[in-house]
Amino acid sequence: MLNQEVKKYIDKSVLCWLATSNEDNEPNVSPKEVFTYRDEKTLLIGDIASPNSVKNIKSNPIVCVSFVEIFVQKGF
């Protein structure tokens, strides 16, 4: 769940990292500049030059997203 504290850091972060894995469990991590949230359960991440990420998510929807507010060096 995206609580108020997490949303606050999403609003202040300019970059996130999206980690996915393919069918063979080979990892892929890529930075994303365009991201936000829609509600308490949904992140929106821009599909910009992300062919591996999109392909991986279609075959394995389990992902990890991390982001840091750079001025305080805290995030999720």
How many structural domains does the chain have? Answer: 1
Q: 57 is in which domain, residue-wise?
A: 4-75
Instruction: Identify whether the C-beta of residue 11 lies closer than 8 Å to the C-beta of residue 67.
Output: no
Q: 12 is written with which tokens?
A: 């202040």
- The domain that holds 18 is classified in CATH as 2.30.110.10
Beta carbons within 8 Å of 30's beta carbon, 6+ residues apart: 17, 18, 50, 52, 53
For the stretch 45-64, pLDDT in tens is 998 888 899 999 999 999 99
pTM of the predicted model as reported, rounded to 2 decimal places: 0.86
Give me the percent of the chain exceeding a pLDDT of 90. 74
* Enclosing H/E stretch for 37: strand 35-39
Query: How many angstroms separate the CA atoms of 46 and 65, rounded?
Result: 13
For the stretch 2-46, pLDDT in tens is 999 999 999 999 899 999 999 999 999 999 988 999 999 999 999
Give me the percent of the chain exceeding a pLDDT of 70. 100
Type of residue numbered 62: I
